[in-house]
Chain A
Amino acid sequence: MAVRGATRGGRAGKARRPVAGRRVLTLSCAAGALALAAVTGCAAQEPQIETSDATVRVPLTPDVTSAYVTIENTGGADDTLIGADTAAADEVQMHENVQKDDGTTGMEERDEIPVKAGETVSFEPGKLHLMLMDPDELKAGETVALELRFEKSGTVEVNAEVEDVMGEGAKGGDMESMDDMDHGDMDH
């Protein structure tokens, strides 16, 4: 399902670098290299964030619900998810389920979630979720705009479909997220 953007050339600047610095004085060589790095850096070393499978669960209580999304960084540089927001809830927190030493399963809030170049981070049940505090009354089939804030890529808006926890909000089929516990969901 993941929509892949055009892969940015990671090696474009590499071949040209020695040529650019060869005939200039030391000082301007450094300046030239800096300028070149700045120019090629734009092309080769930007993260590129693609999102897919965004869902929000119909709130089962007025206090809280969860949202899930798959984030893929198809660019050439790492990025970090630093927060999320939506008009459909008072607050959005990023949580990870962790197995604790005392045998309990607990949620820990995360301030930062790295999305490295070429990697996919899946928010999915039992793993990572966005926790929506005091959500609006949401009905299955509605769409909620989630704003994902990245350190480098800025705000990425995602339209998430509201799904019933039993999967009735899913469009036909039975491929709702709760059944899909695959951790290796890369691409197709």
Chain B
Amino acid sequence: MAAAGAAAVTALLAGCGGQAATGDQGPYNGSEIKGAFTLPSTEFTDNKGEPYDLKEDSAGKYTAVFIGFTNCPDICPTTMADLSQAKGMLDESEQEEFQTVFITADPERDDPELLDMWLSSFDPSFVGLTTDLEDTDATANELGISVSRPEDRSGDYQVDHGGQTLLFDPEGNSRIMWSYGTEPEKVAEDLETVIGEGA
């Protein structure tokens, strides 16, 4: 009984801390997902109203990708704030090699103007992308990020989505996954490591 209790407590603690933040195995604080996912060449519209090909236009930089929506009051703004803080911990040359892309899971409400306003609260360099529902879901699927929205989307509704952030290398291949709540310091450390590896 005592052993079972201790195991339950350990499981609880591990759940609270987020397994990706501990990183006992790989070289990163986050989970190493080298080559597990590739950015697809999906055509989006960015927060400035310009066309944006997810693969082509993000190429050349390490790119953090998060799928969320602007009416999300908690997880999404916290993650964007964390990414912005992590970026701020990098030196200038590292910052130039890093970008953040936010894909809306709620394209029916999140138009480019709303995305632009929302992202400007975190970092004006963050890119916000929107497309139709079909391409949104196909992209999420290719990146292994679940999205689920209610059938009835008439009033105030919420979209369920994976809380992880994926980091892609300059060629669009996945490298690291950070679970929700990974501290900005840990993210920054990983970015320094991975950018250093590529230098």
Contact = CB atoms under 8 A, between A and B. Distances in A.
Contact of A63 (B122, B156, B162, B163): B156
Given A61-B71, A132-B73, A165-B81, 8 more contacts: A97-B74, A100-B148, A103-B146, A103-B162, A107-B74, A126-B180, A165-B77, A179-B184
What 3 A-B pairs are tightest by C-beta distance, nearest first? A106-B160, A104-B160, A66-B73
Interface stretch (B53-61, B113-121, B129-137): B113-121
Given A104-B148, A179-B183, A63 B16 contact: no
Contacts, number: 89
Interface of A: 57-58, 60-61, 63-66, 95, 97, 100, 102-107, 125-126, 129, 131-133, 164-167, 178-179, 181, 183
A181 B181 contact: yes
Interface of B: 16, 70-71, 73-75, 77-78, 80-82, 84-85, 114, 117-118, 121-122, 145-148, 156, 158, 160-163, 180-181, 183-184
A131 B162 contact: no
B141 to A, nearest CB: 11
Given A125-B78, A133-B156, A104 B118 contact: no
A133 B70 CA distance: 13
Nearest to A177: B78
B8 to A, nearest CB: 15
Contacts of B160: 100, 102, 104-107
A57 B75 CA distance: 13
A102 B146 contact: yes
A64 B73 contact: yes
Given A64-B71, A129-B73, A178-B82, A106 B148 contact: yes
A100 B147 CA distance: 11
